[in-house]
Amino acid sequence: MSPAGAPAGGGSRLILRKLREIMAAGGAAQARLDALVRMIAAAMVADVCSIYLKRGDVHELFATEGLKPEAVHRTRLKAGEGLVGLVGETARPLNLADAPVHPRFSYRPETGEDPYNAFLGVPIVRSERVFGVLVVQNRVAKLYGDDEVEALQTVAMVLAEMVAAGGFGDLSGLADVEIRPSRPERLQGRAFSDGLAIGTVVLHEPHAPLGRMIADDPVREEKRLEEALQHIRADLQAMIDGDPGRLSGVSRDVLETFALLAQDRSWEGRLRDGVRAGLSAEAAVERARQEHRAKMQGARDPYLRERLHDLEDLDNRLLRALGKAEKLGAQPMPDDAILVARDLGPAELLEYAPGRLRGLALEEGGQSSHAAIVARALGIPMVGRIQSLVSRVEPGDRIVVDAERAEVQLRPGVDIVRAYDQRIALRSARAQEFARLRDQPAETRDGRPVSLLLNAGLTLDVQHLGETGAAGVGLFRTEFQFMVSETLPRLEAQTRLYRDVLEQAGDKPVTFRTLDLGGDKVLPYMVAEREENPALGWRALRIGLDRPALLRYQLRALIAAAEGRGLRVMFPLVTTVEEFDAAAALVQREMAWARKQGAQGPARLEIGVMLEAPALAFAIDALKGKAAFVSIGTNDLMQYFFAADRNNPRVGDRYDLLSVPALRFLREVRTACAAAGLPLSICGEAAGRPLEAMTLVALGFDRLSMPASGIGPVKRMIRSLDAAHCARALEPLLQSTKNSLRTELSAYATANGVAL
């Protein structure tokens, strides 16, 4: 029971109604803040009610009922100072029976607050940004009840939204309270998809619509909430029931947990309490979402974090259901949208109109995250791992995504925009130059042809074949389809994808790499055992051989898709020849199965290996007559060669492929493959960088597979290179005792007119 004797819902409803009256009455901001604290103190039977707002780094007393009026605008608490500072810092409510004994209590004589013991402070938060603290105090030493804490939090939330919506029109004139971030900021992250873009922020998880925080009719509001809840539950159930064959056991578990959470009485109860207390349904969900986020930020336990993440996802679904079940991406999109989110789930990015999306900025994400895979396929820049990004932007802000420097610029000033306009123009001029090279042969000045191939993983990528003039797909990463879908792709879905890819490629060859999961590539719907060293653990072909059903299914799909045409398959992370034999036997078994079904099968079949584990480099002779080709995955090969995690920025730049040991090693592999008569290619990212590609060509490599963005620059380099001359220059360098040859090789390129 609240001190006023009314139940919580009734108490906050009364406060919310009065709050609305005060706002509607108009008048100066200060007068309305004064009226507000008087009203809250009376409604909550508190001796004191104060509003502190954040001005720069200090919390300043803006209005009070109960403390000395002369303290208003004089009492200022530095960041983290006093109990108010503590609430601001933690963004959590603080409820104390005897505040003066708390170690963080800071006594300010000008306020006359000595007689007060009970203290309840709640943050005034919006979009995860604390811009003030609302406090009530009482003389008697007592803890405030849960309903009182809740009532004050609700008022603080509504207050935050009203201030942000301009409800206190002249407030920002009154003080430089940063309700909406307005200053330019530069935030560092990590680059996951190359490029530069300037555009307008679109928030993936928009705030609850402003202006409708308080409900006119709680009964109607509860009905809206009820309908939206039913809607999302039915949706989830339909996903589970829809197609039993579609879900693997594991993904079904995930969805069922989700559906179970959607039935969670305490979640639903919180939402109902919200609308009964006078909030609109959206505001009630927003409140729940804020609570889940706040808890998630404090939660260490990964299981709990995951649950809270699921709950937040449900909150978002519910918000969308309330907004007339708008689909993702159905919100109005500016032509130069830059999507900002904490993280994006499987397939979510694909739901946005690709034509309007210029870039992507995330708080989370990783090199192998779904978002990064799709961003690279769409050719849009992405910067991820940007701390507190979402709380520092508002929809409509200008933003620069700079994946060259792994940073974003928020609300950039004119000078910065001008500099970026120039850099973007330069990039587009280069892109035009590369486009002109599209139909020119990739041949060195001394007449050596080099086959330039594309790395791909989604059908979206295959369009780059035509755009770049690449000779084929040298590496099709089949796991991407698995990583961007919500559930395990069925046989038909796999077959369809491979068929589409082959059709789009026309007469250009495509090399499909079988599933390369594990390590840093995890599926949301497959619970993997936690391993101490995932990169050295149960991954790639190792999973395929231990769980042959998954691999056989995939081979079946590939064989069906390649009916009547050539099929090239290769296996990732083959470490021993026996592994290759076992995998090749599975292909033959599936070929026999297809024939038994009456299919004619692929016209040609070539089975190759990826050389990623150094051990295989010393067994190449044993692959003679067995494998049809070898492809070096330098990303993994170098990580194992140098014992340096490819995704760990601390060690990522420590070792260089352009070093004597690595280049000697690659040369040995080339010699061994030539001796065994095995065609050899390189398909790691290094092949797409002009200086590395120059060196590889000089070492005798003539098939390079790379991301689409590498084809133009590498072709330009090749057409300016005398390969034999470069090979002669490289020879003595390989005898040197220097580690990285980067400087020497760059100098060679400059001196010999090689275009890098």
* Sole binder of ligand PEP in the list 475, 583, 613, 698 (CB under 6 A): 475
134 contact choice in Mg ion, ligand PEP, none (CB below 5 to 8 Å, kind-dependent): none
**Shortest reach from residue 517's CB to Mg ion, in Å:** 11
Distances in whole angstroms, Cα of residue 7 to Cα of each of 138, 264, 277: 20, 23, 10
**Nearer residue to ligand PEP within complex by CB, 487 or 634:** 634
Enter the tokens of residue 476: 């099709």
CB-based closest residue to Mg ion = 636
Nearest distance from residue 612's CB to ligand PEP, in Å? 5
C-alpha distances out from residue 286 to 8, 208, 461, Å:
19, 6, 38
* Residue 569 interacts with ligand PEP (CB under 6 A): yes or no: no
**Under the criterion CB under 5 A, does residue 474 sit at the interface with Mg ion?**
no
Question: Which residues touch 511 (CB under 8 Å, ≥6 apart)?
Answer: 453, 472, 473, 474, 475, 476, 568, 569, 570, 608, 631, 705
> What is the residue type of 503?
E
- 3 state SS of 584: helix
Q: Which entry of ligand PEP, Mg ion, none binds 634, CB below 5 to 8 A by partner kind?
A: ligand PEP
Q: Does residue 82 bind Mg ion (CB under 5 A)?
A: no
Question: Which region, left, alpha or beta, applies to residue 506 given φ > 0 means left and ψ of -120 to 50 means alpha?
Answer: left
Residue 461 sits in the site that holds ligand PEP (CB under 6 A): no
CA distances from 169 to 60, 166, 323, 629 (A): 19, 5, 27, 70
Q: Is 370 among the residues known to form the active site?
A: yes
Question: Which one of ligand PEP, Mg ion, none is in contact with 475 (Cβ closer than 5 to 8 A by kind)?
Answer: ligand PEP
Report in angstroms how near the CB of residue 512 gets to ligand PEP at its nearest: 13
SS (H, E, C) 69-82: HHHCCCCEECCCCH
Total residues in contact with ligand PEP, by rule CB under 6 A: 10
| SS3 of 144-192 | CCHHHHHHHHHHHHHHHHHHHCCCCCCHHHHCCECCCCCCCEEEECEEE
| Separation in Å, CA 612 to CA 228, 616, 624, 643, 683 | 50, 8, 18, 13, 10
Q: How far is the CB of 684 from ligand PEP (least distance, A)?
A: 3
Among ligand PEP, Mg ion, none, the one that 225 touches (CB under a kind-dependent 5 to 8 A) is none
Phi, psi for 270 (deg, rounded to 5): -60, -40
- In angstroms, the CA 396 to CA 334 distance is 9
Task: Take residue 60 and report the two structure tokens written for it.
Answer: 């300043």
Count other Cβ atoms within 10 Å, centred on residue 146. 10
User: Rounded to an integer, what distance in angstroms lies between the CA atom of residue 332 and that of residue 669?
Assistant: 54
* CA dist 752 → 243, 437, 691, 720 (Å): 62, 21, 13, 9
Backbone dihedral region of 588: left (phi > 0), alpha (psi from -120 to 50 degrees) or beta?
A: alpha
DSSP 216: S
315, interface contact from ligand PEP, Mg ion, none, CB < 5-8 Å by kind? none
Active site residue 673: no
634 binds ligand PEP (CB under 6 A): yes
Calpha distance 484→738 (Å, rounded) = 43
Residue 633 CB, shortest distance to ligand PEP, in Å, is 3
The one catalytic residue in 49, 59, 292, 683 is: 683
Q: What is the DSSP letter of 675?
A: H
Residue 274 binds Mg ion (CB under 5 A) = no
Catalytic residue (one of 59, 204, 292, 370): 370
Q: Minimum CB separation from Mg ion for residue 636, in Å?
A: 4
CB of 482: closest distance to Mg ion in angstroms?
Answer: 15
The full DSSP string for 394-460 is: -TT-EEEEETTTTEEEES--HHHHHHHHHHHHHHHHHHHHHHHHTTS--B-TTS-B-EEEEEE-SHH
- Which of Mg ion, ligand PEP, none does residue 684 bind (CB under 5 to 8 Å by kind)? ligand PEP
The number of angstroms, rounded, from the C-alpha of 275 to the middle of its chain's C-alpha atoms is: 33
User: Distance between CA 337 and CA 357 in Å, rounded?
Assistant: 5
430 close to 710: Cβ distance less than 8 angstroms: no
Q: How far is the CB of 595 from Mg ion (least distance, A)?
A: 32
SS3 289: helix
Give the nearest distance from C-beta 281 to ligand PEP in angstroms.
Answer: 45
Q: What part of residues 493-522 is at the interface with ligand PEP (CB under 6 A)?
A: 516
Position with the least CB separation from ligand PEP: 633
The single residue among 9, 633, 707, 713 that binds ligand PEP, judged by CB under 6 A, is 633
Closest separation in Å from C-beta 442 to Mg ion: 24
* Residue closer to ligand PEP, measured from CB, 116 or 641: 641
- 348/479 with CB nearer ligand PEP: 479
C-beta closer to ligand PEP: residue 44 or 683: 683
Per rule CB under 5 A, is residue 707 in the interface with Mg ion? no
Order the strands of the 58-65 sheet from edge to edge.
Answer: 76-77, 58-65, 48-55, 129-138, 118-126, 94-96
Q: Report what 702 binds from ligand PEP, Mg ion, none; CB cut-off 5-8 Å by kind.
A: none
**Among 509, 633, 690, 710, interactor with Mg ion by CB under 5 A:** 633
477 scored as a contact of ligand PEP (CB under 6 A): yes
Q: Which stretch binds ligand PEP (CB under 6 A): 176-184, 380-388, 504-512, 630-638?
A: 630-638
Task: Identify residues 586-625 at the interface with Mg ion (CB under 5 A).
Answer: 612
Q: Is 370 in the site for ligand PEP (CB under 6 A)?
A: no
Residue nearer to ligand PEP on the CB measure, 481 or 634: 634
Q: Does 51 bind ligand PEP (CB under 6 A)?
A: no
Choose the stretch contacting ligand PEP; rule: CB under 6 A; options: 56-64, 391-399, 528-536, 634-642: 634-642
Nearest approach, Cβ of residue 232 and ligand PEP (Å) = 36
Contact 501, 462 (CB under 8 A): yes
Q: How many CA atoms lie within 13 A of 223 on its CB side?
A: 5
Q: Which stretch binds ligand PEP (CB under 6 A): 504-512, 629-637, 659-667, 745-753?
A: 629-637
Q: Which of 113, 161, 348, 636 binds Mg ion (CB under 5 A)?
A: 636
Residues 600-619 that bind ligand PEP (CB under 6 A): 612
Our CB check for Mg ion shows the closer of 312 and 636 to be 636
The piece of 243-251, 445-453, 628-636, 697-705 that touches Mg ion (CB under 5 A) is 628-636
Q: Which two tokens stand for residue 417?
A: 């925009």
106 to 145: interface string for ligand PEP, x by CB under 6 A: ----------------------------------------
Q: Which residues bind ligand PEP (CB under 6 A)?
A: 475, 477, 516, 612, 633-636, 683-684
Known catalytic residues? 370, 683
* Residue ranges in contact with Mg ion by CB under 5 A: 612, 633, 636
